[in-house]
Structure 1
Amino acid sequence: MAPIHIPTKQQALVLPEKQGKFVVREVDVPKPGPGEVLVRAEAVALNPVDWIVQATGMFFTQYPAILGWEAAGTIVQLGEGVASVVVGDKVLHPGVIGDGNKLSTFKQYNATPADLVAKIPANLSVDQAASIPLALDTAALGLYARPGERGGASLSPAPWEAGGRGKYRGQPFVVLGGASSVGQYAIQLARLSGFSPIIATASLKNADYLKSLGATHVIDRYLPRDSAVAAVRDITKEPIFVAYDTISTEDTQQIGYEVLTSGGTLVNVTLNRFIPKEKMTPDKRITDIFGSPFIPDRRELAVGLYRHITSLFSSGELKPNHVEVLPGGLAGIPAGLDKLQKGEISAVKLIVRPTETA
């Protein structure tokens, strides 16, 4: 292979100040440290958390800041001690904001730990691969991470681990917001873990698609709260120990909490809590998951997942989100985030290609 030229500067989408407007700006290309790789980003994905961070100023105390939580592309440089991949490999990987913007992904070159990359299987495009990390991490950690601050439901073993396939056979599972990016993976992981029935709330236009992923029943997301709870109870009389709220509105939380049996866990994707304390009981737990594999107490679980991502997707056991590629490279991200904020996106992940940045 001919040597790969690595520039010293790159284009990035930058938030110059708290609650400011995004701008494309030249920044340094990061250098991979020991155990890290440098990836030339060919596709990055947008997520609702990006517009929330921009609008509220949460997470950041220092600016300029760069956002972005997932990407896919080509490895162009190896850090010291990396032997699991080689230069030229096509990979997907998660990102994380902060840390001097080194690991965030709204830029053309991203450094990331080598144990949190997965080779892109031949049956996926780079665009599809970029849609995987954050949503899959959030679904997986929400279900299988141990309890704790921003921890999970502690299901064990995970379906990519020995003895994990079918472990929860015959137990019902509920996901609120099944057509969301996280919801689609929660359905698929629940299927691999053996849960049945798998009950999802979603727009009924997405019902057939969600059933193709493993949902056995789809309830209209627009049903009133009491009607949705009744619909779940009509489907199964078995105790429900896990419900996953991927939307986190007052209605979805109330539905998820109410359908749980004693000893059950509601996994919530945000810090928002809408259930009054007087209506909470000590026998039901709510956990607010933060889907980052960089948190130390869930790193081992995440590394195990990334070892299996290639085979899980190449075999078709997991399927990626549908994607929509936006024009303009990194400069196209703000318009895409505006669509996410307005709720105009359904059952699709928005992608941009940083190489197309003018």
Structure 2
Amino acid sequence: MPAQQQAIIVQSPKAPFVLGTCDVPSPADGEVLIKTMVVGLNPANWIQREYNILIDKYPVVLGNDVAGIVEAVGKGVEGFKKGDRVFGRAAKGGFQQYTILAAKGFIIPIPENASFEEVATIPMAFTSACIGLFAESPIGIALNPTFSLDTKHQGESALVIGGSTSVGQFVVQLLKTLGFSRIVVYSSKAHFEYLQELGATECIDRRAVPLESLPGALTAPVKVVYHTIDLLALNTAYDCVAEGGSIVTCQPTAPFDRDVQVKNVRFIRLAPDPSMMEIFLKNEANAVKCLAEMLERDIIKGNRYEVLENGVEGIIGGLGRLQKGEVSGVKLVAHPHDPVS
């Protein structure tokens, strides 16, 4: 194992992502060091840099969704050993060739039939979908607070705005697992067939139906709306939800000026809030157990993905595409150990 590694570094607040080098970390007590074979990119990564969210010092290496091979374990680690194939969510530090994961955090053995690329699409997006739907307030709408796969909601309806996004794809699958009878997705027509395979029962083409017309395009209001994309769509989410229903958004900066009390609507905004970290981590642990069971029972799958070229450096261009809204229906992933040209 080398002493230094290639990484994508942010040198100071709001500075650009740049290719550089840094030390390979050693795992502390309760930590696992992995050789990062694949890292997934999230819109949250550029948002974190842009708004200086949960960054306590610079320079910093961001990135969260990783899959790889255990290289070393710290004291007190049980259940993992050198050579194991694992994936998980790093607090940060995913955009480099070796990454630290907490042994009691989000880290799961990779199923034999799954690739590094597939599982690297899962952690952040699945967690946002699962916690937003399952957990109790203030971070979820409590559809399944025990995170049990036996909880069912037959006859209920939901709308996913941005169904083809990474989060949206997991929302659709989780709603299907919960037994929702009507799962409507608002997305590009190009993704309809795939979303129906995941569990969507109705599809509305966002190019044919503008946002202001979406409520009228629904055959009836829905009990749950999950808003994943398009900042201007959050007010539309309210217009689509039935009285007494629930709205979840994973867009921390989306404007919302509706009065939820008029329709007695429960509104949850999933936002990176340090004061909520303890609650988040508790629910993430439940989500991880739920995910492991779903993978074992083969009832959930990762996003479709696109592999970026040019190793670690390719991450910079990928993050730029995400910030410009140039990615649709796939998760961008990179191979940190591929050569940089």
TM-score (norm 2): 0.91
User: How far 1:282 sits from its partner (Å)?
Assistant: 6.9
RMSD: 2.3
Is the CA contact (8 Å cut-off) linking 2:214 and 2:240 kept in structure 1?
no
Q: Unaligned regions of 5+ residues in structure 1, if any?
A: 1-5, 98-103
Change (3 A) 1:216 1:229: same
Shift of 1:24: 2.0
Matches for 1:306-321 after TM superposition, within 5 Å:
306-321=288-303
Q: State the alpha-carbon separation in 1 of the partners of residues 55 and 339 from structure 2.
A: 25
Mapped contact 2:6–2:21 kept (Cα < 8 A): yes
**What is the CA distance between 1:259 and its match in structure 2?**
1.9
Pick from 124, 128, 138: which aligns with 1:138? 128
Residue 254 of structure 1, CA deviation = 2.1
State how far apart, in whole Å, the 1-side matches of 2:260 and 2:299 are: 39
1:230 aligns to 2:216 (yes or no): yes
| Deviation of 1:280 (Å) | 6.3
Q: Aligned match of 2:41 in 39, 43, 46?
A: 46
Answer yes or no: is 1:281 the counterpart of 2:269.
no
2:313 matches 1:331: yes
Deviates more, 1:131-140 or 1:78-87: 78-87
Instruction: Indicate the SS of the match to 2:193.
Output: helix
- The CA deviation at 1:279 is 7.7
Of residues 138, 142, 154, the one that matches 2:142 is 154
Q: Which residue of 2 aligns with 1:108?
A: 97
Change (3 A) 1:85 1:15: same
- What is the percentage of aligned positions where both structures have the same residue? 32
1:124 match: 114
Quickly say closer, same or farther: Cα 1:350–1:273, change in 2 above 3 A.
Answer: closer
Structure 2 SS opposite 1:19: coil
Deviation for aligned residue 1:50? 2.0
Structure 1 CA distance, aligned partners of 2:56 and 2:82? 35
Match of 1:72 in 2: 67
The structure 2 residue matched to 1:84, chosen from 76, 79, 90, is 79
Deviations for 1:228-268, whole angstroms, at most 9, x for unmatched residues?
A: 11222x1x46xx33210001421x21221112223222101
Q: After the TM superposition, which of the residue ranges 320-329 and 221-230 deviates more from structure 2? A: 221-230
Match for residue 101 of structure 1? Answer: none
SS at match of 1:261: strand
**What displacement does 1:124 show?**
1.5
> d(CA) in 2 for partners of 1:56 and 1:30?
26
Separation (CA, whole Å) in 2 of partners of 1:106 and 1:309: 24
After the TM superposition, which residues 188-337 of structure 1 pair with which residues of structure 2 at under 5 Å, given as runs?
188-222=173-207, 223-232=209-218, 234=219, 236=220, 240-250=222-232, 252-276=233-257, 281=262, 283-290=264-271, 295-337=277-319
Instruction: Name the aligned partner's letter for residue 247 of structure 1.
Output: I
Shift in CA distance, 62/94, structure 1 to aligned 2, threshold 3 Å? same
Residue from 150, 159, 167 that aligns with 1:174: 159
Deviations 1:64-105 (A, max 9, x none): 1111011000111122222222221101101224xxxxxx21
CA distance, structure 2, for counterparts of residue 162 and residue 268 of structure 1: 23
> Contact between 2:238 and 2:258, CA under 8 Å: does it hold in 1?
no
Cα 1:86/1:290, change in 2 over 3 Å: farther
> Given the superposition, is the C-alpha separation of residues 153 and 357 from structure 1 closer, same or farther in structure 2, using an over 3 Å criterion?
farther
Q: Does the residue aligned with 1:65 lie in a helix, a strand or coil?
A: coil
The amino acid across from 2:42 in the alignment is: N
**In 2 relative to 1, CA 134–18 (structure 1 residues): closer, same or farther, beyond 3 Å?**
same
2:237 maps to a residue whose letter is: G
- Ranges in structure 2 where 5+ consecutive residues have no aligned partner: none
Structure 1 residue 32 corresponds to structure 2 residue 32: no
Cα distance change of structure 1 residues 248 and 44 upon mapping to structure 2, 3 Å threshold: same
Q: How far did 1:30 drift?
A: 2.0
**C-alpha distance in 2 between matches for 1:52 and 1:197:** 32
Letter in 1 for 2:175: A
How many Å separate the matches in 1 of 2:280 and 2:53? 22
Compute the TM-score of the two structures, normalised by the length of structure 1: 0.87
Greater shift after overlay, 6-15 or 309-318? 309-318
Deviation at 1:55, TM superposition (A): 3.6
Aligned length: 337
In 2, Cα distance between equivalents of 1:21 and 1:273: 23
Shifted more, 260-269 versus 308-317: the winner is: 308-317
Structure 1 residue 310: deviation in Å?
4.2
